[in-house]
Amino acid sequence: MVVKPRFSKNECENTLEASSKNPGHFNRYKKVASKELHADHVVRWRCPEEKMLKLNVDGAVNIDGKQVGAGGIFRNHKGRWIQDFWFYVGATEGDWAELWGLHEGLRIAVRERFCPLIIESNFLKLVQAINKGVGLYHPWRSILQDCTSMMRFLSVSFIFSEKRTLVRTVLLR
């Protein structure tokens, strides 16, 4: 798969030049971001061990909360891009986007034999559901069972991650 850059070098330079002439938009952003980004600790993406891959999965919901998408990215031990995916889930709750993102990522990992694999998600509810299981009548039960059977086929560690920037960027492409 060949990925072409969205913007040429000249387009990027023109955008940066135009933004430096009108910094108002960025000043407004800084006011909002400074409140949201204040944290007691720094969270950053960590590379997996050598010969391992890492899958970051995430879901996204539009502003009105009715349209949902999911996606993810596979990277190697050097942090280099291996493969990514994104898709429209439909009109549903955001929780389902996270679950379907995991399911699709695992499906790709099995097909491409991406193992051993570490999976990161910023959605604690999903991480807990995978690690602890859910009740017999939980709406996620059948999809979670499919995910756990694929995880058994691979050598997988599934962990919670507070970082979400890169996967959100892939989703919004």
Q: Tell me the pLDDT tens digit for each residue of 114-172.
A: 988 888 888 888 888 888 888 889 999 999 999 988 888 776 666 666 654 444 333 33
Per-residue confidence (pLDDT) for residue 115, from 0 to 100? 85
Whether residues 21 and 97 share a domain: the answer is: no
% of residues, the chain, pLDDT over 90: 27
Whether residues 78 and 112 share a domain: the answer is: yes
Evaluate if residue 30 carries a pLDDT over 70. no
56: tokens are 């970051």
Nearest to 58 by CA among 12, 97, 3: 97
Per-residue confidence (pLDDT) for residue 126, from 0 to 100? 86
Number of domains observed in the structure of the chain: 2
Task: Indicate the pTM of the whole model.
Answer: 0.66
We report the CATH number of the domain holding residue 131 as 3.30.420.10
Per-residue confidence (pLDDT) for residue 158, from 0 to 100? 64
Q: Could you tell me if residue 152 is inside a domain?
A: yes
Domain residues for the domain of 33 are 8-38
